[in-house]
Amino acid sequence: MITKNGEIVSESCNQVTVLNDPTAHAEISAIREAARKLNTFNLSGCEIYVSCEPCPMCLGAIYWARIDRVFFASTRSDAENIGFDDSFIYKEISCSPQERKIEFRQLLKEEALEAFKVWEETENKVEY
Protein backbone atom coordinates (compact mmCIF):
# COMPACT_ATOMS: atom_id res chain seq x y z
CA MET A 1 0.00 0.00 0.00
CA ILE A 2 1.23 3.49 -0.83
CA THR A 3 -0.02 6.55 1.02
CA LYS A 4 0.45 10.27 0.62
CA ASN A 5 -0.63 12.80 3.23
CA GLY A 6 -2.35 10.04 5.17
CA GLU A 7 -4.51 8.96 2.21
CA ILE A 8 -4.24 5.59 0.46
CA VAL A 9 -3.04 6.13 -3.12
CA SER A 10 -2.62 2.52 -4.22
CA GLU A 11 -2.85 -1.05 -2.98
CA SER A 12 -1.57 -4.22 -4.57
CA CYS A 13 -0.52 -7.79 -3.96
CA ASN A 14 2.02 -10.13 -5.49
CA GLN A 15 0.82 -11.20 -8.95
CA VAL A 16 3.93 -12.97 -10.26
CA THR A 17 2.26 -16.35 -10.75
CA VAL A 18 -1.11 -14.95 -11.83
CA LEU A 19 0.40 -12.78 -14.58
CA ASN A 20 3.46 -14.94 -15.31
CA ASP A 21 5.46 -11.76 -14.77
CA PRO A 22 8.53 -12.00 -12.52
CA THR A 23 8.40 -8.22 -11.96
CA ALA A 24 4.79 -8.20 -10.70
CA HIS A 25 5.72 -7.95 -7.03
CA ALA A 26 3.25 -6.05 -4.85
CA GLU A 27 5.64 -3.11 -4.42
CA ILE A 28 6.20 -2.69 -8.17
CA SER A 29 2.48 -2.91 -8.93
CA ALA A 30 1.66 -0.42 -6.16
CA ILE A 31 4.33 2.00 -7.42
CA ARG A 32 2.98 1.77 -10.99
CA GLU A 33 -0.57 2.44 -9.83
CA ALA A 34 0.46 5.34 -7.55
CA ALA A 35 2.51 6.94 -10.33
CA ARG A 36 -0.44 6.62 -12.71
CA LYS A 37 -2.94 8.04 -10.19
CA LEU A 38 -0.68 10.91 -9.14
CA ASN A 39 0.45 11.50 -12.74
CA THR A 40 4.13 11.57 -11.79
CA PHE A 41 7.07 9.20 -11.58
CA ASN A 42 8.37 11.09 -8.54
CA LEU A 43 6.56 9.74 -5.49
CA SER A 44 8.26 12.05 -2.99
CA GLY A 45 6.00 12.56 -0.03
CA CYS A 46 4.71 8.99 -0.26
CA GLU A 47 5.15 6.09 2.11
CA ILE A 48 4.94 2.39 1.27
CA TYR A 49 3.68 -0.32 3.60
CA VAL A 50 4.79 -3.87 2.78
CA SER A 51 4.44 -7.30 4.35
CA CYS A 52 8.17 -8.00 4.08
CA GLU A 53 11.42 -6.12 3.67
CA PRO A 54 11.63 -5.43 -0.08
CA CYS A 55 13.65 -7.66 -2.39
CA PRO A 56 16.52 -6.02 -4.34
CA MET A 57 14.31 -5.29 -7.38
CA CYS A 58 11.59 -3.66 -5.30
CA LEU A 59 14.12 -1.78 -3.19
CA GLY A 60 15.59 -0.33 -6.38
CA ALA A 61 12.13 0.68 -7.59
CA ILE A 62 11.38 2.33 -4.25
CA TYR A 63 14.55 4.40 -4.53
CA TRP A 64 13.86 5.30 -8.19
CA ALA A 65 10.32 6.36 -7.24
CA ARG A 66 11.76 8.60 -4.50
CA ILE A 67 9.41 7.19 -1.87
CA ASP A 68 10.18 8.76 1.51
CA ARG A 69 9.56 5.88 3.91
CA VAL A 70 9.19 2.09 3.94
CA PHE A 71 7.24 0.31 6.67
CA PHE A 72 7.69 -3.47 6.69
CA ALA A 73 6.57 -6.39 8.85
CA SER A 74 8.82 -9.41 8.16
CA THR A 75 12.55 -9.24 7.48
CA ARG A 76 14.38 -10.72 4.52
CA SER A 77 15.71 -13.36 6.95
CA ASP A 78 12.13 -14.30 7.80
CA ALA A 79 11.40 -14.65 4.08
CA GLU A 80 14.52 -16.75 3.57
CA ASN A 81 13.38 -19.09 6.36
CA ILE A 82 10.25 -19.98 4.36
CA GLY A 83 12.01 -20.40 1.01
CA PHE A 84 12.35 -16.92 -0.49
CA ASP A 85 16.09 -16.59 -1.00
CA ASP A 86 16.96 -13.10 -2.15
CA SER A 87 20.34 -13.19 -0.40
CA PHE A 88 22.12 -14.45 -3.52
CA ILE A 89 20.82 -11.42 -5.45
CA TYR A 90 22.11 -9.03 -2.79
CA LYS A 91 25.51 -10.76 -3.10
CA GLU A 92 25.45 -10.65 -6.91
CA ILE A 93 24.74 -6.91 -6.96
CA SER A 94 27.98 -6.23 -5.11
CA CYS A 95 30.00 -8.27 -7.64
CA SER A 96 31.58 -6.82 -10.75
CA PRO A 97 29.81 -7.89 -13.97
CA GLN A 98 32.62 -10.37 -14.69
CA GLU A 99 32.09 -12.11 -11.34
CA ARG A 100 28.32 -12.59 -11.59
CA LYS A 101 26.65 -15.94 -12.16
CA ILE A 102 24.75 -14.56 -15.18
CA GLU A 103 27.07 -13.82 -18.09
CA PHE A 104 27.51 -10.10 -18.76
CA ARG A 105 29.15 -8.81 -21.95
CA GLN A 106 29.70 -5.17 -22.74
CA LEU A 107 28.77 -4.17 -26.29
CA LEU A 108 28.71 -0.93 -28.28
CA LYS A 109 30.14 1.25 -25.52
CA GLU A 110 30.99 4.17 -27.81
CA GLU A 111 27.50 4.20 -29.30
CA ALA A 112 25.98 4.11 -25.83
CA LEU A 113 28.17 6.99 -24.69
CA GLU A 114 27.06 8.96 -27.74
CA ALA A 115 23.41 8.40 -26.78
CA PHE A 116 24.22 9.61 -23.26
CA LYS A 117 25.88 12.69 -24.73
CA VAL A 118 22.80 13.49 -26.82
CA TRP A 119 20.59 13.16 -23.74
CA GLU A 120 22.97 15.25 -21.65
CA GLU A 121 22.91 18.05 -24.24
CA THR A 122 19.13 18.03 -24.60
CA GLU A 123 17.82 21.30 -23.18
CA ASN A 124 14.24 20.26 -22.44
CA LYS A 125 14.96 16.85 -20.93
CA VAL A 126 12.94 15.59 -18.00
CA GLU A 127 15.42 14.46 -15.40
CA TYR A 128 14.64 11.66 -13.02
Question: Which CATH number belongs to the domain containing residue 20 in this structure?
Answer: 3.40.140.10
Instruction: Give domain status of residue 77, yes or no.
Output: yes
Is 46 a domain residue?
Answer: yes
The reply to whether 128 falls in a domain is: no
Instruction: Tell me the average pLDDT across 23-42.
Output: 98
Question: What's the number of domains the chain is made of?
Answer: 1
Q: What angle do CA 105, 109, 113 make, to 5 degrees?
A: 145
Cα 97 from Cα 95, distance rounded (Å)? 6
The residue among 62, 36, 25, 61 whose CA lies nearest residue 47 is: 62
Give domain status of residue 117, yes or no.
yes
Parent domain of 100: 2-121
- Residue 75 belongs to a domain: yes
Average pLDDT over residues 57-82: 96
Say whether 27 is catalytic.
yes
Model-level pTM? 0.88
Q: How confident is the model at residue 128 (pLDDT cuts 50, 70, 90)?
A: confident
Q: Which of 36, 20, 82, 84 is nearest to 56 (CA)?
A: 84
Residue 39 domain flag: yes
Q: In the chain, what are the helix, strand and coil shares in percent, each to the nearest 5?
A: 45, 15, 40
pLDDT average, residue stretch 101-119: 94
* 127 in any annotated domain: no
Catalytic residue chosen out of the listed positions 7, 27, 114, 121: 27
Q: Is 126 within a domain?
A: no
Q: Is the pLDDT of residue 68 over 90?
A: yes
